[in-house]
Homo-oligomer: A and B are copies of this chain.
Amino acid sequence: MTNADDAPALLLGKPTWLVNQVSGYAHRLLATHLGQVGARGYHFRTLAVLAEFGPISQADLGRHAQMDRSDVTAAVSELAADGLAERVPDTSDRRRNVVSITQAGRDRLRQLDQILDGVQEELLAPLTAEERSALTGLLARLLSHHATAGTPQPWAG
């Protein structure tokens, strides 16, 4: 009828609802800004791990980036096709590939990182610096708790 867009109290009282909604906004901002330069979240996550930990196997890459191994395979193939990463067989363990970032990949990572910094500002716009650090501190606490607890992990397979 009218433009009443308030969620029911049953939802507003649930932290899972709040965090899912905020994550939804973050996801849409990310998809919009990354999509404008032809990138996806998996690309940034993969490049960030390669820059900090690579050369590395795809399995370890997935553990660092919280990605399933099958998704790592696809992301690395896409990055390699664009010359942003290289995939070569591991001679010391022939089950594995060794994935490394190229110079073009480092440039791409720098570009995407700047885009992401803009998104952070947009997402947290209404909060003061103190509130932002309080929020990130609490979220980091939850993350480290569940990373070491029995909570299901995305990279379990």
Contact = CB atoms under 8 A, between A and B. Distances in A.
A25 B64 contact: no
B63 A18 contact: no
A154 interface: yes
A18 to B, nearest CB: 4
A45 B149 CA distance: 28
A140 B20 CA distance: 11
A73 interface: no
Nearest to A50: B8
A4 B63 contact: yes
Which one of A16, A24, A140, A154 has the highest number of Cβ atoms from chain B below 10 Å of its Cβ? A16
Q: How many copies are assembled?
A: 2
Given A7-B66, A51-B10, A151-B28, A16 B135 contact: no
A147 interface: yes
Contact of A29 (B3, B143, B151): B151
A52 B8 contact: yes
Interface in A118-157: 119-120, 122-127, 131-132, 134-136, 138-143, 145-147, 149, 151-152, 154-155
Bin the interface of chain A by size: 35 or more
B10 A20 contact: no
A53 B5 CA distance: 11
Contacts of A116: 14, 16
A12 B137 CA distance: 11
Nearest to A56: B1
A20 B26 contact: yes
